Amino acid sequence: IPVDSFDLVIFGGTGDLARRKILPGLFRRFRSGQMPAEARIIGAARSEMDDAGYRQMIREAIAEFGSEEKQDTAGIDAFVERLHYVAIDATGEGGWHQLRDLMRDGVIRAFYFSVAPSLFGALAERLHQHGIADASSRIVVEKPFGRDLASAKALNATLAEHFDESQIYRIDHYLGKETVQNLMAVRFGNVLFEPLWNSHYIDHIQITVAETVGVTGRGSYYDKSGAMRDMVQNHLMQLLCLIAMEPPSIYDADTVRDEKLKVIRALQPVEPHQIVRGQYEASAEGPSYREDAENPRSFTESFLALKCHIANWRWAKVPFYIRTGKRMKARSSEIAVVFKDLGHTIFEGDTARHRNILSIRLQPNEGMDLQVTIKEPGPGGMRLVDVPLDMTFADALGPDQDAPDAYERLIMDVIRGNQTLFMRGDEVEAAWAWTDPIIEGWEARNDVPKLYDAGSAGPEDAMMLMHRDGRRWREIK
């Protein structure tokens, strides 16, 4: 179904994010027919360039970063015709009139701020000053949304000077993933799960986001951030919210976000012994974190594991274990809901531990499965075996070649005016309010991260975090 017609301006339209994700994604939506044929995309950045130069740049970006659609030369020709370019310095006065003249009346206006957050205020102000944005326009902003509570509040206040909260789309691309939305469908669209979704039946939850890449190339940026700010405060917290939230009364942006906010506010402070920070060492595959970050004395964490609790009735005493790291043994992201052991078994001789585990894989092979215990087929008597019950959408309904990836889906949601999968300002602030004291604690103690081998599952202490509780992490594979 095509969305309404729009003009989308991408500030930072020549940058890495625009070339790698936003434009190839928009091309896929164009090919699928979801992007109206007359919609316009206007790149804006500091470099001097004309439309033809920008079209060529985006052709090359699609050739470099697109998947099978990059073979579609006729499609690319038609798509780049929709592109325009205006040279604008966010802090300068040139180019704004041209931009205003390019934009059509009577269509949705959206502005993607794919630039450093320090430029958000200047952009917001000039869009208004030049009469380009109005009360129905939308703006899209990216992480990092602040580096602590104070800076996030300042950023929210800056945007609020010119835009209402209902116009602001804070992207967390984890929320655009198919399986993340499927998680809500599974929880709230079935009678089976929700009655069990609490401390009576769930032993614990694990959330893992493991990457194999290091910080090569973006080390100086990452070194000021670390895993807590770069991954936990946003992506992992958002996943935790969707797992833990109460059922919203309706599936609507503010109702869903109200419930997520309650989860963040109910998160208990984390004690130092419940956290393990790590930093990768050099290996045959590559240099150490400190070399990548070009900071021989860096104490920044490239790995983090922590245990936390949500102080409400549903989750009383249920630990949430989360971990994320760079240069780990596999690229793998998973949420695992581990149900409690059977209280009693009637099967004599069966001493194995059988557990139901709902596993939600974000990458690779997005999908879901439920580990269930059944009889081992064959004549061996009543022997039990655990098997995964595959709940992957593509297997049941056939692969959807045209399924949008996270960025594409979210950009189309901006045009549709649906904020459900975007973070609200108060959520972001509440998340910082929880992480700030943890980070301040490390800084006050000069906390030194534990070293771990590149290609491993993280430092030994992270294993102990679980083993102490008689539990173990799921294998990263």
Nearer to ligand NAD by Cβ, of 231 and 306: the residue is 231
> Can you name the residues that pair with 324 across neighbouring β-strands?
209, 304
> Please, what is the minimum distance in Å from the beta carbon of residue 325 to ligand NAD?
18
* Known binding-site residue numbers for NADP(+): 12-19, 46, 143
> Please, what is the minimum distance in Å from the beta carbon of residue 89 to ligand NAD?
4
> Which residue sits closest to ligand NAD, CB atoms considered?
15
Q: Which residue, 449, 461, 460, is CA-closest to 290?
A: 449
The catalytic residue among 235, 344, 354, 467 is 235
Question: Which one-letter DSSP state was computed for residue 286?
Answer: B
Place of tokens 């936003």: 22
Nearer to ligand NAD by Cβ, of 162 and 204: the residue is 162
Catalytic (active site) residue 235: yes
Nearer to ligand NAD by Cβ, of 65 and 193: the residue is 65
Nearer to ligand NAD by Cβ, of 46 and 128: the residue is 46
**What's the CA gap between 295 and 39, in Å, rounded?**
46
* Known binding-site residue numbers: 12-19, 46, 143, 173, 177, 211, 230, 326
Nearer to ligand NAD by Cβ, of 155 and 310: the residue is 155
**What's the CA gap between 2 and 33, in Å, rounded?**
6
Nearer to ligand NAD by Cβ, of 99 and 243: the residue is 99
Task: Please give the full DSSP string across 4-72, using - where no structure is assigned.
Answer: PPEEEEEETTTSHHIIIIIHHHHHHHHHHT-S-TT-EEEEEESS---HHHHHHHHHHHHHHH--GGGG-
**What's the CA gap between 69 and 254, in Å, rounded?**
36
**What's the CA gap between 55 and 79, in Å, rounded?**
9
Place of tokens 């994700």: 21
> Please, what is the minimum distance in Å from the beta carbon of residue 34 to ligand NAD?
23
* Known binding-site residue numbers for substrate: 173, 177, 211, 230, 326
> Please, what is the minimum distance in Å from the beta carbon of residue 48 to ligand NAD?
11
* Burial tier of 465 (Cβ tally within 10 Å: 0-12, 13-18, 19+): buried
Angstrom distances, CA of residue 43 to CA of 12, 29, 230, 233: 7, 17, 27, 30
> Please, what is the minimum distance in Å from the beta carbon of residue 316 to ligand NAD?
36
**What's the CA gap between 323 and 473, in Å, rounded?**
10
> Please, what is the minimum distance in Å from the beta carbon of residue 401 to ligand NAD?
25
**What's the CA gap between 427 and 120, in Å, rounded?**
19
The 10 Å Cβ neighbour count of residue 52 is: 11
Nearer to ligand NAD by Cβ, of 16 and 50: the residue is 16
> Please, what is the minimum distance in Å from the beta carbon of residue 331 to ligand NAD?
15
Contact positions vs ligand NAD (CB under 6 A) = 11-18, 45-47, 88-91, 114-117, 119, 142-144
Q: Which residues contact 307 (CB under 8 A, 6 or more apart)?
A: 270, 274, 275, 319, 320, 321, 465, 469
Task: Please give the full DSSP string across 242-271, using - where no structure is assigned.
Answer: HHHPPPPSSS-HHHHHHHHHHHHHHBPP--
Check: CB of residue 169 under 8 Å from CB of residue 414: yes
**What's the CA gap between 207 and 184, in Å, rounded?**
16
Instruction: Tell me which residues are annotated as active site.
Output: 235
